[in-house]
Amino acid sequence: MARIKTDKNISRKDVIVTKAAILFREKGFKAASMRDLAESVGVEAASLYNHIKSKTELLHELCFSVANRFMHQIDAIEAEQISSIEKVEKLLKFHINEMIHHYEEVYVSDREWKHLADPYLSNFQNQRRIYRKRFAAIIETGIRNKEIKKIDAPTAVLIMLHAISGIESWHRSTQKISATELEENMITILVGGLVHK
Amino acid sequence: MARIKTDKNISRKDVIVTKAAILFREKGFKAASMRDLAESVGVEAASLYNHIKSKTELLHELCFSVANRFMHQIDAIEAEQISSIEKVEKLLKFHINEMIHHYEEVYVSDREWKHLADPYLSNFQNQRRIYRKRFAAIIETGIRNKEIKKIDAPTAVLIMLHAISGIESWHRSTQKISATELEENMITILVGGLVHK
DNA sequence: AGGTCTTGCTAACACACGTTAGCTTCTTAT
DNA sequence: ATAAGAAGCTAACGTGTGTTAGCAAGACCT
């Protein structure tokens, strides 16, 4: 009888959630079946239900664990006593590193949240909207301080966030530059596009 | 008996493809059912098959019509006798306007191409890869001419293309700035991030 | 007006999906 | 060693899917 392998401190549920992230990223939430997931975990489909409540629960788990990390990070950065540009840069670096090191989760949370069911859906959308508002507020402060060009802050946020989701292509590409180089290049271009003069 | 309405020069198939784009964008290719599509067209599901071969054909149609437009555009721009920065700017403007005015199609082509079946899938991926190489080549020329900062060109391309796909958020947002303002802001930030000094 | 092609409908198919029920087997603690 | 709980299995369910077959109604041309 196949058994899900676990190390200490990693529950069988965690194993399933992690595998689910990989699968949802590859195929999309709807196209990934519980039988696919079962196979990648090494078990029959029905057995998964000893550990999880439903397929959608897996999506909740992924989306909100990511959302929470980002919320905590922006809390911390807002509180720091540094210039707006530095705040933006710190935030971008966090996004970039999340996208590099927790690729599957972050990607899924970014692209597949549409398939959440209410009330999770509205909740997630709210958090997202608030996050973007707070990001935009940082930029607006920077504009008032003349650290940042006179631009539309929400548009800038939208560019930053989506540009970073492009790291997906980096992951897929065969001849990757190093992670550090990637980070440096992205910061150069994105922050370079903001700074006044 | 319900009949699909058409104006002159618009085939019933075109009507279906257009509605499919809207639906695929809203729900994703897999989650959008032929019965959903039928309803939005105002007809029974089976009737669709008098005009199309399969659900996947709709996706082919959408993906390749977009891909072709972009290919023709980069052909034209490469041939022009203008600076690299101007080429990048023209290409970006084209992307932005496509994303603004042919939102549904472009979005679907961008996010749902994974669900194409071979040989269409490999074909599409190839075109995409080639397109990005050509875009990167323009940037590399600009770097050699010292018009553009010393950066990794493929990374720059990835940022540009994904940043533009962020126009999705603009479409969804309630208090939109105007399309022209959006274009100007995006160009300012993105081109501003490239130019040397 | 009649005949033909087009476009629609209803009914049904085969299949894949998420999930449940009920039973067996393995692990763990007394 | 044994009882209890955890984790696996097979079988099956109801439902939704893309698609086909066969027939009816509408449009179009002479």
Q: Which residues of B touch A28 (CB under 8 A)?
A: 28, 30, 114-115
Residue of B168, B151, B169, B170 whose CA lies nearest to B159: B151
- Cα separation of A150 and B122, whole Å? 43
Residues paired with B148 in a beta bridge: B195
Six-digit token string for B68: 């072709």
Each residue's pLDDT tens digit, B119-144: 999 999 999 999 999 999 999 999 99
Nearest nucleotide to the CA of A37, by C1', is C18
Q: Answer whether residue B9 shows pLDDT above 80.
A: no
Residue of B93, B186, B168 whose CA lies nearest to A152: B186
- Cα separation of A20 and A32, whole Å? 9
A168: Cβ contacts below 8 Å, ≥ 6 apart: A99, A103, A107, B162
Helix axes A120-144, A153-165, angle to 10 degrees: 120
Six-digit token string for A74: 């922006």
- Cα separation of A197 and B123, whole Å? 43
- CB pair distance less than 8 Å for B189 and A193: yes
- CB pair distance less than 8 Å for A161 and B166: yes
pLDDT along chain A (197 residues), means of 10: 73 95 98 97 96 97 97 97 95 96 97 95 97 97 94 95 95 90 94 76
Q: Answer whether residue B183 shows pLDDT above 90.
A: yes
Round and report the angstrom distance from CA (B194) to C1' (C9).
59
The whole-number pLDDT of residue B4 equals: 72
CA-CA-CA-CA torsion sign (A165, A73, A118, A58): positive
